[in-house]
Amino acid sequence: MLAAPLAMAEKAMQEDPYLWLEDVGGDKQLDWVRARNAESEKLLKDDVAFAQLEADLKAILDSDEKIPYVSKQGDYYYNFWKDQKHERGIWRRTTLAEYRKDEPEWEVLLDIDALNKAEGENWVWHGANCLKPDYTRCLVALSRGGADADVTREFDLSTRQWVKDGYFRPEAKGGLQWIDRDTVYVYTDFGDGSLTSSGYPRIVKEWKRGTPMVEAKVVYEGTDEDMYIAGYRDLSTGFERDFVSRTIAFYNDELYLRGQDGKLTKIDAPNSANKSVHKDWLILELREPWKVGDKEYAAGSLIASRFDDFMAGKREFDVLFAPTDTTSFASFSPTRNHLILNVLEDVKNRLYVLTHKDGKWEKAPLKGAPAFGTVSAGGIDDEESDAYFLTVSDYLTPTTLMIGEIGKDPEPLKKMPAFYDSSNYEIAQHFATSKDGTRVPYFMVARKGLKLDGSNPTLLYGYGGFEISLTPNYAPAAGRGWLQYGGVFVVANIRGGGEYGPRWHQAALKQNRLRAYEDFAAVAEDLIKRGVTSSERLGIQGGSNGGLLVGNMVTLYPSLFAAAVCQVPLLDMQRYNKLLAGASWMAEYGNPDKPEEWEFIKTFSPYHNVKAGVDYPAVLFTTSTRDDRVHPGHARKMMARMKEQEHEVYYYENIEGGHGGAANNQQLAHMQALAYTFLRRQLMPAPGQQAAGAR
């Protein structure tokens, strides 16, 4: 009976000789990882500037002068903080009066380093959810080594102790959400058949205190093909409601209202719409056009309806935002009496205040909001006040945190220090023309008076997926690790992202994926055409879906670049849906198990397109053994194949870190220093020395 499976395994190994590297924790595999790490570290750490750069980057990450961002729960403002003394971090709180001070007094609630020492663990903080109205009982999530899978434990703020025989969810992907003090929603791994094919919860249950989790009552059960099932209670005073969310795939979900009798009623809005319920209102972000009665609402619009009226069958909506060719919806945040609307206009934020008055919504600019940079605002407590926090940043300007109230100018509250001298640099926005004529924006940070002679070492960064927008944020690591060595830093806003709303994302889905790579190539070509750089001085960087981008730029456009940093990447697109959370991304990339879809997927599968005898840029792959979202086998196998083909390739795998690649500041500084040292060696050779990646 074993003959058939063994024959299939042997056939798979013949087709993919590096399949064995997918065994994440095997001794042979980790020996391979350690050997590759040693090779890369020896080369890069021997660089005379490496140790100083690593120390400088760690000092930035550990700085006591960073902004301690807070969130309000009850009377207190909570913060999670890491620095040199607190490697894994402390959870703490203070009052607003104290927070306004330059050096607030903090009340430490939980010390993760002390917890790890006491328990012999390597916990990484994943957050806490405290129950209204007294906020003394909290559900704390902790992850081993930074993986997505975590445990949830009940913590008592009044005693600073774990609750004896309190709620405990064993390690898995999932979570707990409060219903009341003695009841929670639990969605997790309940045993065989309880997870989706993506490895996320398929079942949500109602769990009563003092009973075994196995006896919890099933609330909703999804299918194996779904992505994620969850339940939660909206605890807004006077608007308490229970919901079940069924995520079928990215941007394909259903939301159900759960009645007191347990009956679920679907909110009859398009699956593609992002749905949120806030007090009186159902708010929908449309990702496709939606015709309701005789009205049609455009994709990218934000519309609102009275929730109770909608559930009673009425279909009357107000348009809160409608997109244009240059604008898209970014986000909204409620205060007690208003909504703060955040809009992207050619990838620059614009903030407005929406107020429902006399039966209609009025719109006005947010008073005192800056006109340039990445600006975001969030209501502090939407039940008590119209106060908000405002953050302002760009690539060169240290982030400022401000506090304001609707109708008044915000006032500065905290400011990040300048971690490098940016006075001689400037930011410019440019547009490249892609292969199909699409106008693609990109930001460039460079020294003032830059000579356009093609000699400038340039790092081009991108992502281009899942409707995620890349906006200008202060980047001290890039400043210290790249700009101060004389480099130019560029961020490309390619299709697949969300810079121009759903249409920008949808333009690069599945069979159209190559458009994202054509956009990135167009930006690279524009940099060369303008004389900013040359292919011998041009490097690229990206992580996760951005790692897939980098892998494809290396294999599809090898002559454009001299160096590439490929971080926690997807690369084997034939097997990605069988590895960890990969099945959840098929709405983005397609299903390789369908022959007709594999036909287009294989055109952007770097693992299948890399060839011997081609002059590729030098590549550094980085990943994490504990990444349980994007399997480290992608990077391992690609490195092994390229090494066997005798390409210039380097590899570093951090043992901890999850999908973020690092579990603490020391690990992150080390990873960053490796990347910037690699890029500098390839693109900034010493006088009279040819760059290692030059062709």
State how far the Cα of 79 lies from the Cα of 226, in Å rounded to an integer: 34
pLDDT in tens, 318-365: 999 999 999 999 999 999 999 999 999 999 999 999 999 999 999 999
Nearest partner of 389 among 79, 64, 60, 177, judged by Cα: 79
Looking at residue 626, its pLDDT comes to: 87
Q: How confident is the model at residue 665 (pLDDT cuts 50, 70, 90)?
A: confident
**Residue whose tokens read 């009066």:** 97
Which are the contacts of 447, defined by CB distance < 8 A and separation ≥ 6?
Answer: 424, 425, 426, 486
Beta strands, E only, 358-424? 360-365, 374-379, 387-393, 400-405, 411-415
Report the pLDDT value the prediction gives residue 44, as an integer from 0 to 100.
80
- pLDDT for 275 beyond 90: yes
Exposure of 268 in the CB half-sphere (CA atoms within 13 A): 11
- Please tell me the distance from the alpha carbon of residue 179 to that of residue 42, in angstroms, as a whole number: 53
What is the CA 405 to chain-centroid distance, rounded? 29
List the structure tokens of 596.
């007709």
Residue with tokens 């013949």: 14
**Is residue 662 scored above 90 in pLDDT?**
no
Q: Is pLDDT above 70 for 7?
A: no
pLDDT of residue 694: 39
Q: What is the DSSP letter of 584?
A: G
Rounded to an integer, what distance in angstroms lies between the CA atom of residue 147 and that of residue 626?
Answer: 6
For strands 458-461 and 538-543, give the pairing: parallel
Whole-number pLDDT of residue 370? 84
Least confident of 3-7, 426-430, 456-460, 509-513: 3-7
Nearest CA to 468 among 508, 490, 498, 427? 498
Residue 290 has pLDDT above 80, yes or no: yes
1 pLDDT more than 60: no
**Whether residue 503 has pLDDT greater than 70:** yes
**Secondary structure of residue 154 in the 3-state scheme:** strand
Over the stretch 381-431, which tens digit does the pLDDT of each residue have?
999 999 999 999 999 999 999 999 999 999 999 999 999 999 999 999 999
Q: What are the C-alpha distances in Å from 277 to residues 51, 530, 554?
A: 51, 48, 44
pLDDT, one tens digit per residue, over 155-213 is 999 999 999 999 999 999 999 999 999 999 999 999 999 999 999 999 999 999 999 99
Q: What is the pLDDT of residue 48?
A: 80
Tell me the residue length of the chain.
695
- Report CA 408 to chain centroid distance, whole Å: 33
Q: Are 286 and 297 in contact (CB under 8 A)?
A: yes
**Distance from C-alpha of 643 to C-alpha of 650, rounded to nearest angstrom:** 9
**Coil, strand or helix: which one is 663?**
coil
Would you state the pLDDT for residue 692? 42
- Of 349, 567, 562, whose CA–CA distance to 456 is shortest? 562
The pLDDT score that the predictor gives to residue 437 is 98
User: What's the confidence (pLDDT) of residue 42?
Assistant: 86
Catalytic positions are 544, 659
Sign of the Cα pseudo-torsion (153, 154, 156, 162, in order)? negative
pLDDT of residue 658: 63
Residue labelled with tokens 């100018």:
409
Segment 518-534, tens digit of pLDDT:
999 999 999 999 999 99
Homologous superfamily in CATH for domain 29-58+426-683? Alpha/Beta hydrolase fold, catalytic domain (3.40.50.1820)
pLDDT reading at 6 higher than 50: no
Supply the mean pLDDT for the chain: 94
For residue 14, the model assigns a pLDDT of 57
Question: Does 689 have pLDDT greater than 50?
Answer: no
DSSP annotation of 585: G
Q: What angle do CA 617, 621, 624 make, to 5 degrees?
A: 170
pTM of the model: 0.92
288 CB burial (10 A radius; 0-12, 13-18, 19+): middle
Residue 695: pLDDT band (50, 70, 90) is very low
Burial of 341 (0-12, 13-18, 19+ CB in 10 A): buried
pLDDT in tens, 8-43: 444 555 589 999 999 999 999 999 999 999 999 888
Question: d(Cα 207, Cα 318) in Å, to the nearest integer?
Answer: 38
| Contact predicate 168/142, CB 8 Å | no
